[in-house]
Amino acid sequence: MPTLLINGVNYHYEETGSGQDTIIFSHGLLWSGRMFHKQVAYFKDRYRIITYDHRGQGKTEVSANGYDMDTLYEDAAVLIEKLVGKPVIFAGLSMGGFVGMRLAARKPELIKKLILLETTADPEPSENVPKYKMLNNIVNYIGFWPVIGKVMQIMFGQKFLNDPKRLIEKKYWIHQLNLNNRKGICRAVDGVIYRKGIADEIHHVNCPTLVMVGDQDIATKPEKAQKIHALIKNSKLVVFEGGGHTSSIEEPEIYNREIEKFLNS
């Protein structure tokens, strides 16, 4: 199990594939690099692929602090410098997008192309904070099982949730949620719900950027993606039908096709 010591924390990462360019996939809250397994399988024959787990999530060490987005962005910059040493294609979903926008705006020398998936440049809407804090407290003191239904409704679109043919997939991802370290996840959730926005900085992003969102995403609605697209000059916006907040899992064929078109452009 490869790990890399970054700012005092042992980060878990996985790499595969080969190619002139490296794609780094940065996952969303509550998940791990595993959420990109279908993208990894699709692109590994042409690119070096790296996935990693944020602090306190997946297999990365649970640290006492450092869950704010600025620290996570600094961690990601070190990871790029140590593992790659040249500009990368950075694909971030939701929380991973918060990291990606900071990287591209503040350390443009590290980012060749940016892919922003179901994310937002704004702080968490104030009306969401009490609801998410309540869910977080339940997880902290009891565990995931009382809130699994609510979390799945936030994370996935109705097309995925209501498809009986995908029941096994749903059970698998529920199992992945239950594997989370409660302390790590609760600290990570606080980092997300109390994050600062990045909208006032992303006009500095000059690299080619793909912004994607599903029309069933209720956590970061399509208008959030439209705002990012408006603020980043060299960007392309794709809004597709049927995807929720975790479309790397829900709609992998659409993801792979649109990412491939963007990388080849």
Per-residue pLDDT tens, the chain, 265 aa: give them.
Answer: 799 999 999 999 999 999 999 999 999 999 999 999 999 999 999 999 999 999 999 999 999 999 999 999 999 999 999 999 999 999 999 999 999 999 999 999 999 999 999 999 999 999 999 999 999 999 999 999 999 999 999 999 999 999 999 999 999 999 999 999 999 999 999 999 999 999 999 999 999 999 999 999 999 999 999 999 999 999 999 999 999 999 999 999 999 999 999 999 9
Q: How far apart are alpha carbons 88 and 127 in whole angstroms? A: 36
Helix spans in the chain (H): 37-43, 69-83, 95-106, 129-141, 148-155, 158-161, 167-178, 182-193, 222-231, 247-250, 252-264
CATH code at 138? 3.40.50.1820
Instruction: Indicate the SS3 state at residue 200.
Output: coil
Can you read off the two tokens belonging to residue 18?
A: 């080969």
Select from 111, 106, 71, 107 the least CA-distant residue to 92.
111
The residue range of the domain holding 219 is 3-264
Question: Do residues 67 and 74 touch, judged by C-beta distance below 8 A?
Answer: no
The total number of structural domains that make up the chain: 1
Residues 6 or more apart whose CB falls under 8 angstroms from that of 16 comprise 40, 44, 48, 49
Q: What is the pLDDT of residue 1?
A: 75
Q: What is the pLDDT of residue 106?
A: 99
Q: What is the pLDDT of residue 174?
A: 97
Q: What is the pLDDT of residue 222?
A: 98
Q: How far apart are alpha carbons 209 and 111 in whole angstroms? A: 10
Question: Do residues 27 and 60 touch, judged by C-beta distance below 8 A?
Answer: no
Pairing of strands 88-93, 111-117: parallel
CA 98 to chain centroid, in Å, comes to 8
pTM comes to 0.97
